[in-house]
Amino acid sequence: MPSSTHIAPSSSIRLLDRFYGTFLFMCVVFLTIGVPFVFYRKTASAVASMVVAIAVLAMWRMSRKGQPQRSLKIFAAGIWTVLTGLMFAGLPPISTVALAVAVMLAVVNSLRASLFFAAAYFLAWLTYIALQSANLAPDIYFTGAPLTGWFISLIAIWLLLLPITELVHNLHHAASLQTAVIEAATDGILVVNKEGHVETHNQNFADLWNIPQELLNKADDHALLDFVSDQLVDSDQFLSKVQEMYSHPEQSSLDRLIFKDGRILERHSQPQRLDDTVVGRVWSFRDVTENENARAEIYRMAFHDALTTLPNRRLLHERLERALISSARNGLHGALLFIDLDRFKILNDTHGHDKGDMLLQQVGQRLVRCVRDADTVARLGGDEFVVLLESLSQHSKEAAAQAETVGRKMQAALNLPYALGDLESQITPSIGLTLFNGQDASVDELLKEADQAMYQSKAAGRNTLRFFDQAIHTALTERAALEIDLRDAVKQQNFLLYYQPQVVGNGCLTGAEVLVRWIDPKRGIVSPADFIPLSEETGLILPLGRWILETACVQLATWASQPAMANMTLAVNVSANQLRQSDFVEQVMEVLVRTGANPARLKLELTESLLVTHVEETILKMATLKTHGVGFSLDDFGTGYSSLSYLKRLPLEQLKIDQGFVRDILVDPNDAAIAKMVVALAESLGLKVIAEGVELEAQRGFLAEIGCLAYQGYLFSRPLPLAEFEDYCSSTRGDQADGLARC
């Protein structure tokens, strides 16, 4: 731990080494030369010298083990005792060494101890002189040679004072170094003693805290503390930290102080130790305002949206993660609302991006006003906002109601007009809402759920709010998986055509409708009802439709060379998207030419939905193909909204009564009436008519009665794979050897 007390210890220890070394040397000299030749009471002197030598070694060791001050004090006490004892044993001059020890101690910063020893020494001298004048003192041993005794004492003192002079010099040096270092530090530094009185400080400290010189000169610690704490936003916290540090002198601390003028100081505090005892505390203060502001700016930029200053996707993610954890802990629900502005693009495109930006800012502000401080309003980008509500009820129904209330409030707020400079505008939101409780769903899943719910509300006509529905979610997930596999299947052409016979009269075969099947390794044979709508939405119907048409035409061309099959017509379903392609006519013609199929054997089944828009274009395409011999049948007739006036203009060949009417034709008079009406209509327009979904003989009979003589349905056959269909053809031909002639 860095501390000012650490500036000079190594040189002090070196000096102490020399001090103890010298003393030991003196002991040895004393023992080997002095004792045998000079001194009287040799045994006592020898023992005393040995004890001193052992004590010196022990103290030396103690000093080396990190307790130099303590070792010196104990040493001084010991040496004083021995030398004062010697004085009374007849060696007063040598006891002068005791004074040297006292001086030494004064220099090594133990003034109290040194004064004590010096006083004790003089007291001993005075006692000795008093005893001597009363003739009670023991004889001075060096009677004959007092000068020798004084000389030995002087040498001893000189030897001891040598390192002490150096020590004094070093201490001065250390003190000046300490002052220079403290002053050079860019931090403000304040050193206080154990009681909290100011020991020292640097100019930066005074500058950082704007402390006037008079106050510093006064040395009134309380006034200083008041002056300092008054400048802070939270002076109580400042004072309690100071208090805490006094109660726990061993502790270090690091914290931030926020000034009323906006500055931020980092405050670091650590104890000042002498040996192992805390004797004071160093406080250092650093102005980190700029760093903090830069850091705050970086944080703001990384986690906030620049336009609205709202949290961005990243911050939302973090908050949502935390919200999930706390919801798991407290059992309370939370909600995520996904808000998308309806037709924002139009406003942006027509009035410019600056108006769009203004609107987005106002939307953000309105949303923030609708929620509590603890909730989060984030902008994901574009016109997408997400609101995270926390701490809703623990009961899901109640939580749903709470979230819905907030959602409705937002909807109402966003519906109010916006002043965008000189433009007044209006916009509506579509809101998707999902609830969460605990960590069952991940952050991404929840965002996806809210997003899906938002799409539901768009689908429900916009400017509304929808809850996420698990059933819809499952369907969408499955759909996504289906789409991936379907793309693959289209690439690899994993499809098969089934042929469902079409008959006239009692079963005379005229051809078939081709119905596609998807052969999927995982799902088996997939019904078109499950993938045709999806392939239409994704555009996959275009390559798929081309493949179907081509396969059917190849089949027609193959059958053309087989007399038994040559007359078969194939009805191919064509979806609206296919027909809408500008080159649809060319595509069909190209396939016919390439495969060599007879156009007269090809019948394209269209649905009524085709006749809702682009009617003129459709009529034109149909007419062109018709001139090449291609026939058209209107599938599922009666289920759509085709205008009868258009019907007249369409170059159709056939109407197909939808199986929905055929199913209940015997029991539901409405269905029967519609079927009758379709037959009559076909007749009046000069069109043929066929009924699909004929399952019962009675249905066929009824249809025949009302004038419909062509049928398709399970009564005759289910849709069959090619080989089975061909078998079916040969078997029916066998049954009705003359049938074909009648067809």
SS (H, E, C) 255-302: EEEEECCCCEEEEEEEEEEECCEEEEEEEEEEECHHHHHHHHHHHHHH
Please, which of residues 559-578 interact with Mg ion by CB under 5 A? 573
CA-to-CA distance for 212 and 412, rounded, in angstroms? 58
Kindly write down the DSSP assignment for every residue of 624-636, as one continuous string: HHHHTT-EEEEEE
Contact window for Mg ion (CB under 5 A) among 233-241, 439-447, 598-606, 675-683: 598-606
Q: 45, exposed or middle or buried, with CB in 10 Å at 0-12, 13-18, 19+?
A: buried
> Binds 471, which of Mg ion, ligand C2E, none (CB < 5 to 8 A, cut-off by type)?
none
Q: How far is the CB of 624 from ligand C2E (least distance, A)?
A: 20
What gap in Å lies between CA 672 and CA 403, rounded to an integer? 51
Site string for Mg ion, 522-561 (x = CB under 5 A): ----------------------------------------
Rounded to a whole number of angstroms, the minimum distance from the CB of residue 372 to Mg ion is 56
Judge contact between 739 and 509, C-beta under 8 A. yes
Of 337 and 508, CB closest to ligand C2E: 508
CB-wise, 152 or 662, nearer to ligand C2E?
662
Residue 503 interface partner, choices ligand C2E, Mg ion, none, CB cut-off 5-8 Å depending on type: none
Nearer to ligand C2E among residue 212 and residue 533 (C-beta)? 533
Instruction: Tell the smallest beta-carbon distance from residue 528 to ligand C2E (Å).
Output: 3
Question: Binding residues for Mg ion, how many (CB under 5 A)?
Answer: 5
CB of 377 to ligand C2E, least distance (A): 46
Three-state secondary-structure class, residue 188? strand
Alpha helical stretches, state H, 89-145: 96-107, 111-133
Say which entry of ligand C2E, Mg ion, none residue 152 contacts (CB below 5 to 8 A, set by partner kind): none
Say how far apart CA 527 and CA 719 lie, in whole Å: 11
Residue 723 interacts with which of ligand C2E, Mg ion, none, CB < 5 to 8 Å by class: none
The token pair at 200 is 């020292």
- What part of residues 676-735 is at the interface with Mg ion (CB under 5 A)? 692
User: Among 494, 568, 560, which Cα is nearest to 525's?
Assistant: 494
Tell me which residues touch ligand C2E (CB under 6 A).
500, 514-516, 527-529, 532, 545, 548, 573-575, 605, 635-636, 659, 692-695, 712-714, 719
Residue closer to ligand C2E, measured from CB, 125 or 547: 547
Task: Give the pair of three-digit tokens for residue 426.
Answer: 């209006």
Residue 365 beta carbon to ligand C2E: minimum distance, rounded to whole angstroms: 50
CB atoms within 10 A of CB 609: 15
Residue 516: name its binding partner from ligand C2E, Mg ion, none (Cβ under 5 to 8 Å by kind): ligand C2E
Give the total residue count for the chain: 743
Minimum CB distance to ligand C2E, residue 435 (Å): 38
CB-wise, 117 or 498, nearer to ligand C2E? Answer: 498
Residue nearer to Mg ion on the CB measure, 400 or 514: 514
> From ligand C2E, Mg ion, none, which one binds at residue 383 (CB under 5 to 8 Å depending on kind)?
none
- Which C-beta is closer to ligand C2E: that of 208 or that of 548? 548
462 closest CA partner among 341, 331, 334: 341
Q: How far is the CB of 653 from ligand C2E (least distance, A)?
A: 16
CA–centroid distance for 271 within its chain: 39
Which of 310/694 has CB closer to ligand C2E?
A: 694
Shortest gap between Cβ of 692 and Mg ion (angstroms)? 5
Q: How far is the CB of 722 from ligand C2E (least distance, A)?
A: 14
Closest CA to 168 of 103, 108, 99: 108
Q: Which does 737 bind (CB under 5 to 8 A by kind): Mg ion, ligand C2E, none?
A: none
Q: Look up residue 237 and give its two tokens.
A: 């916290």
User: In angstroms, rounded to a whole number, what is the distance separating the alpha carbons of residues 451 and 459?
Assistant: 12
Closest CA to 263 of 282, 225, 291: 291
Least separation in angstroms between CB 541 and Mg ion: 14
Task: Give the phi and the psi of residue 274 in degrees, each rounded to 5.
Answer: -125, 120
HEC profile of 658-679: CHHHHHCCCCCHHHHHHHHHHH
Closest by Cα among 700, 693, 502 to 601: 502
* Half-sphere exposure for 127 (CA within 13 Å, toward CB): 11
Residue nearer to ligand C2E on the CB measure, 456 or 642: 642
Nearer to ligand C2E, 134 or 667 (CB): 667
Residue with Cβ nearer Mg ion (187 or 692): 692
By CB under 5 A, which span of 226-234, 330-338, 347-355, 628-636 interacts with Mg ion? 628-636
Closest CA to 217 of 193, 195, 194, 201: 201
Q: Which residue, 187 or 635, is less far from Mg ion as judged by CB?
A: 635
C-beta closer to Mg ion: residue 358 or 690: 690
Provide the minimum distance between the beta carbon of 478 and ligand C2E in the complex, in angstroms, as a whole number: 18
Rounded distance between C-alpha atoms, residue 585 and residue 622, angstroms: 8
In the chain, % helix, strand, coil (3-state, to 5) comes to: 60, 20, 25
**Minimum Å distance from CB 570 to ligand C2E?**
11
Contact 201/187 with Cβ under 8 angstroms? no
Separation of alpha carbons 705 and 676, rounded Å: 10
3-state secondary structure 323-376: HHHHHHHHCCCEEEEEEEECCHHHHHHHHCHHHHHHHHHHHHHHHHHHCCCCCE
In the complex, least distance from residue 532 CB atom to ligand C2E, rounded to whole angstroms = 5
Q: Which of Mg ion, ligand C2E, none is residue 456 near (CB under 5 to 8 Å by kind)?
A: none
Distance of CA 728 to the CA centre of its chain: 64
The minimum distance between CB 663 and ligand C2E, in angstroms, equals 7
92 binds, among ligand C2E, Mg ion, none (CB under 5 to 8 A by kind): none
Q: How many CB atoms lie within 10 A of CB 490?
A: 20
Nearest residue (CB) to ligand C2E, 529 versus 741: 529
The answer to whether the beta carbons of residues 545 and 587 sit under 8 Å apart is no
693 binds, among ligand C2E, Mg ion, none (CB under 5 to 8 A by kind): ligand C2E
Nearest CB to ligand C2E, comparing residues 464 and 712 = 712
Is 605 a binder of Mg ion (CB under 5 A)?
Answer: yes
Site residues for Mg ion, 165-224, by CB under 5 A, read none
CA distance 269 to 256: 12
Which one of ligand C2E, Mg ion, none is in contact with 17 (Cβ closer than 5 to 8 A by kind)? none
Q: Identify what 695 binds: ligand C2E, Mg ion, none; CB under 5 to 8 Å per kind.
A: ligand C2E
Nearer to Mg ion, 414 or 602 (CB): 602
User: Which position among 383, 636, 671, 726 is part of the footprint of Mg ion (CB under 5 A)?
Assistant: 636
Among Mg ion, ligand C2E, none, what binds residue 357 when CB lies within 5 to 8 Å by partner kind? none
Are 224 and 209 contacting, i.e. CB atoms less than 8 angstroms apart?
A: no
Task: Report the residue number, 476 or 504, with the smaller CB distance to Mg ion.
Answer: 504
Strand order in the sheet with 188-193: 198-201, 188-193, 277-287, 264-274, 253-258
Q: Is beta strand 710-712 parallel, antiparallel or unpaired with respect to 418-420?
A: unpaired
Quick one: which segment of 7-15, 182-190, 349-357, 629-637 binds Mg ion (CB under 5 A)?
629-637
The least CB distance from residue 608 to ligand C2E, in Å, is 12
User: CB of 700: closest distance to Mg ion in angstroms?
Assistant: 17
What residues make contact with Mg ion under the rule CB under 5 A? 573, 605, 635-636, 692
